[in-house]
Structure 1
Amino acid sequence: MSSAADSASAGHVAGEPPLWLPYYRAPFGAAIRRFFRKYADFSGRAGRAEYWWWTLASVVVHLVLFVVASLISGDWNRAGTGDIGVISSFGIVSLPTPPDLAHAGAGAIGAWGIDLLANAFALGTFIPGLAVTWRRLHDVDRAGGWFFISFIPLIGAIVMLVWTVSSPQPGGARFDRLPAAAYVPRPVA
């Protein structure tokens, strides 16, 4: 059995479940904190809130960086600039080619810097994005390897969407490190 002292040593905030349990109905800040604390942890489960709050945060960061780069460069059609594609946690990210410094204005150079920042963010969050998706699949009682179904065009995306919005399944507890009954929550002061 786990004790309150064991829970305290797990490094979680009072009122939150330990990191080895899913945090259902996690608020935004707690979900993002757990995302980074469990950076490359593919074991256990992740509740819908943990997964979807991170997905929202990631999309917003990418959108803001795109808008800033487009405003700086004045070019809203930034997709076809001869970039090299790389798979990120949310699709294809293009690695920007450096602008021709002899002919590029300050806006193009600034936008290139923002594009590099966006790609650094995408690559830096690729592993934890994959891990939270893996844990979300565990919560709906699917092995994490089912993630690869998302590579099937259209059908895979639909299946992954259905699974990630689904309610947790009791069978998903088999992916927990310890049984949930072993967790004794600390009283909130």
Structure 2
Amino acid sequence: MNWYLDVLKNYAGFSGRARRKEYWMFALFNAIVAVVLLAIGFAIESQIPYGIYILAVLVPSLAVVVRRLHDTGRSGWWFLIAFVPLVGGIILLVFMCSEGAREANEYGADPKLAPQGV
């Protein structure tokens, strides 16, 4: 849960790097909340709660994707490859699953070496 909240706290932080764990834990909690809100929406016959949630997490989601790309040594603009039909999403998925650079790169130090808050 802390990974999810940390991404939300760093709401519009497009600089720096994000570990795989940070990205995937955010994606997991994001998917769980979205499914729950969809179920609630079907029960009350309104998708307004789901729509509000999606709009609320749009910027943090983009920010964590950009930071994840930075961790792999790529510019955040690589996110746009997702719009290439058929292969773009697959390529972006491979980037998100790839291990980050172990050494410091132009986007900052390796986040695995940074002390983690308790």
TM-score scaled by structure 1? 0.56
The one of 74, 95, 106 equivalent to 1:142 is: 74
Cα RMSD after superposing both structures: 2.2
Residue 81 of structure 1 is matched in structure 2 by: none
Gaps in structure 2 of 5+ consecutive residues: none
Counterpart CA distance in 1 for 2:99 and 2:115 is 23
State the 1:185 CA deviation: 4.9
Residue 90 of structure 2 is matched in structure 1 by: 158
Question: 1:64-89: per-residue Cα shift (whole Å, max 9, x none)?
Answer: 1222222x2xxxxxxxxxxxxxxxxx
The sequence identity of aligned pairs, in percent, is: 35
Question: Could you say which structure has the higher helix fraction?
Answer: 2
TM-score scaled by structure 2? 0.87
State the 1:131 CA deviation: 0.3
Would the alpha carbon gap of residues 65 and 154 (structure 1) be closer, same or farther in structure 2, given more than 3 Å must change?
same
Would the alpha carbon gap of residues 116 and 44 (structure 1) be closer, same or farther in structure 2, given more than 3 Å must change?
same
Misfit runs of 4+, over 4 Å: 183-186
The one of 29, 32, 56 equivalent to 1:124 is: 56
Count of residues in Structure 1 that have an aligned counterpart in Structure 2: 115
Q: Indicate if the aligned counterparts of 1:45 and 1:136 stay in contact, CA closer than 8 A.
A: yes
State the 1:153 CA deviation: 1.7
Residue 13 of structure 1 is matched in structure 2 by: none
SS of equivalent to 2:16: coil
Question: 1:33-73: per-residue Cα shift (whole Å, max 9, x none)?
Answer: 21011100100000001100111111111111222222x2x
Query: Is 1:51 matched up with 2:10?
Result: no
Q: State which structure, 1 or 2, has the greater radius of gyration over its C-alpha atoms.
A: 1
Question: Could you say which structure has the higher strand fraction?
Answer: 1
